[in-house]
């Protein structure tokens, strides 16, 4: 490949590289098939960057036999433009794919306690019904009997979400979303996320806490005063969607996730102590989803691969086919 761009000598000419072609037309040649001033100007214009790749010819004043085919600058300029187009299109495509990523499917949900009082039904399975907007739908934990007896009506509870297909054993970057649409500040206030690798997961399975990288929700302030726990401020909107970026690093496949709602008077959540922000500590989780997020290296490798494909496609393009020296046949 290097020799192709090395200087050479052809007859009385000394081309700067070995990519040459004969003049492409004699329409503007003068007597004796010698290029006229008009021909020189015609090809000089087409030797400039951005000109037609087929007609980049320079040094015509030296004679009609062979002339340097100066397409290489245009080639690389065109390649860079095409690669940029590919990269930009790919980036938009990846964003669209990421934004519309399919959530991990769950086969079931269970909880240590499900509220059976008040309007609507509040079983754990309703967090998997795909309804992210209804108000009277979701998982709640208020214990009416405890309230009647003067006991704490909201205790620490856990929900278990069993995966339809176990998550591969590796470092996984995940995005959890917790939808809370009941309103009246029925939001999670103190909670944590975990996972288990038990082949038959149950609510009594031992779990490992998910490593939390970031938590966000408009108008909500989050704290992490207790390791492994997420503390949501008592202020903020009546409804919310918590978006949680976390990582799981497991040597064996992950079979289920846990959502732990925590009642902790010393946890810093005022005035309820948790688990929920509402005055009696209750909350309503409308929907719970988990999606795998590709790592940045995955995007980089994909973009690099597409760049190579763009390069190969451009090499196959007719206007940049390799050319060799040929006699001037008019």
pLDDT of residue 183 exceeding 50 = yes
Residue 53's pLDDT is: 43
Can you tell me the mean pLDDT for 43-58?
51
Torsion angle (degrees, nearest 10) of CA 153, 156, 162, 167: 150
Mean pLDDT, the chain, integer = 78
12-26, 121-135, 291-305: which is most confident: 121-135
Q: What is the pLDDT of residues 205-243, one digit of tens each?
A: 999 999 999 999 999 999 998 888 999 986 788 899 999
Full-model pTM: 0.63
Can you tell me the mean pLDDT for 53-78?
45
Provide φ and ψ at 108, rounded to 5°. -165, 165
Burial class (CB in 10 A: 0-12, 13-18, 19+), 68: buried
Range with the lowest mean pLDDT among 63-67, 128-132, 180-184? 63-67
pLDDT of residue 314 exceeding 70 = no
102-292, which class in CATH?
mainly beta
Residue 311's pLDDT is: 53
Residue 54's pLDDT is: 44
| 3-class DSSP assignment, residue 71 | coil
| Higher pLDDT among residues 186 and 326, named by residue | 186
**Cis amide leading into 275 (omega within 30):** yes
pLDDT of residue 197 exceeding 70 = yes
Each domain of the chain, given as residue ranges in start order, spans 1-101+297-330, 102-292
Q: How far is it, in rounded angstroms, from Cα 68 to Cα 83?
A: 27
């Amino acid at each position: 490949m290097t020799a192709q761009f090395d200087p050479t000598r052809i007859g009385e000419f000394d081309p700067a590289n070995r990519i040459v072609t004969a003049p492409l037309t004699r329409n503007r040649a003068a007597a004796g098939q010698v290029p006229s001033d008009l021909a020189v100007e015609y090809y000089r214009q087409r030797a400039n960057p951005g000109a037609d790749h087929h007609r980049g010819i320079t040094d015509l004043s030296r004679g009609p036999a062979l002339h340097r085919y100066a397409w290489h600058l245009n080639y690389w300029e065109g390649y860079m433009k095409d690669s940029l187009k590919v990269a930009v299109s790919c980036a938009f495509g990846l964003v669209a794919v990421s934004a519309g990523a399919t959530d991990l499917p769950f086969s079931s949900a269970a909880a240590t306690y499900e509220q059976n009082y008040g309007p609507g039904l509040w079983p754990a399975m309703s967090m998997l019904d795909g309804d992210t907007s209804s108000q009277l739908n979701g998982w709640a934990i208020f214990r009416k009997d405890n309230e009647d007896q003067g006991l704490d009506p909201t205790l620490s509870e856990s929900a278990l979400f069993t995966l339809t297909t176990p998550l591969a054993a590796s470092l996984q970057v995940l995005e959890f979303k917790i939808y809370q649409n009941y309103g009246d500040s029925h939001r999670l206030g103190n909670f944590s996320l975990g996972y288990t690798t038990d082949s038959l997961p149950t609510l009594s399975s031992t779990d490992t806490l998910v490593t939390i990288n970031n938590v966000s929700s408009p108008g909500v302030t989050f704290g992490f005063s207790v390791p492994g726990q997420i503390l949501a401020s008592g202020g903020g909107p009546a409804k919310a969607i918590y978006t949680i970026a976390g990582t799981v690093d497991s040597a064996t496949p992950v079979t289920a996730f846990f959502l732990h709602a925590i009642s902790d008077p010393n946890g810093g959540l005022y005035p309820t102590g948790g688990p929920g922000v509402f005055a009696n500590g209750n909350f309503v989780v409308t929907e719970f989803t988990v999606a795998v997020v590709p790592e940045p290296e995955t995007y980089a490798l994909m973009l690099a691969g597409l760049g190579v494909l763009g390069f190969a496609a451009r090499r196959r393009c007719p206007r940049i086919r390799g050319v060799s020296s040929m006699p001037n046949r008019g």
